[in-house]
Amino acid sequence: MKIATWNINGVKARIENLLHWLQECQPDVACLQEIKSVDDLFPRLEIEALGYHVETHGQKGFNGVAILSKVSPVEVNRGLPGDDSDEQSRFIEAVFTTDKGVIRVVSLYLPNGNPVDTEKYPYKLGWMQRLEDWAKERLELEEPLVLAGDYNIIPQPIDAKHPENWVNDALFLPQSKQAFRRLANLGFYDAIRNVSDEQMFSFWDYQAGAWPKNNGIRIDHLMLSPEAANMLEGAEIEKHTRGWDKPSDHVPVVIQLAC
């Protein structure tokens, strides 16, 4: 099973790129973030024409996540539990049946957290704590679980071309990295780091020539439960999509599972 995550940065603006990539990559499950669309206006017909089932958790103009899949999920859950007042669409979970049982896949869009001296940073840390609490419960099921998405976290200095430029940023502050490590310490594995120690990136800003200078960061991750990690056959970052016309500032990260 091929599972991918991609912060599309506006599905309507990138629909041609998305359709081309779906045909090129042929993921079994594609997790999208920042769709920036309400559910009713998501371009599902074009995607369904390629043979994909579509599940969305949208929001007008901001945020929004989706899961596209070649087979229909048997269960879908929207919204991260733990705060009924949170109206931001950042989390959707789907359960699929496979020859080896079930697999749970989450598309998540973790808050950016900047500026750090505003309410946005406590919201980021609170969201991560809720994710950790939720993940603890899911791990008790002892099922393959993939947490795929834009984490807005630079885990280590190697995950930035110029880490010194990020020391005061919410993506790289010690509290942010600690929260990411707490999630990993529950038993999750970073799919890319499971297959490579090389420096690689998943995001290049639109400004200051970041793409031609390869001034990137790695903030898009697929975190695997032990059961999913045991199935991991490969992981890669599809960097070439950043060079397409009207690209997202993120690129897809793709894993292959033996299931």
Concerning whether 83 is annotated as a catalytic residue, the answer is no
Contacts of residue 122, Cβ cutoff 8 Å, sequence gap at least 6:
none
List the Cα angle 257/124/104 in 5-degree steps. 25
- Euclidean distance between CA atoms 139 and 257, whole angstroms: 18
* Encoded amino acid at 123, one letter: Y
Please check whether residue 130 is in contact with residue 85, taking contact to mean a CB–CB distance below 8 angstroms.
Answer: no
> Parallel, antiparallel, or unpaired for β 65-69 and 53-57?
antiparallel
- Euclidean distance between CA atoms 144 and 259, whole angstroms: 10
Concerning whether 150 is annotated as a catalytic residue, the answer is yes
Contacts of residue 172, Cβ cutoff 8 Å, sequence gap at least 6:
154, 160, 163, 166
Selecting among 109, 159, 190, 220, the annotated active-site residue is 109
Selecting among 28, 121, 150, 169, the annotated active-site residue is 150
- Catalytic residues, by residue number, are 109, 150
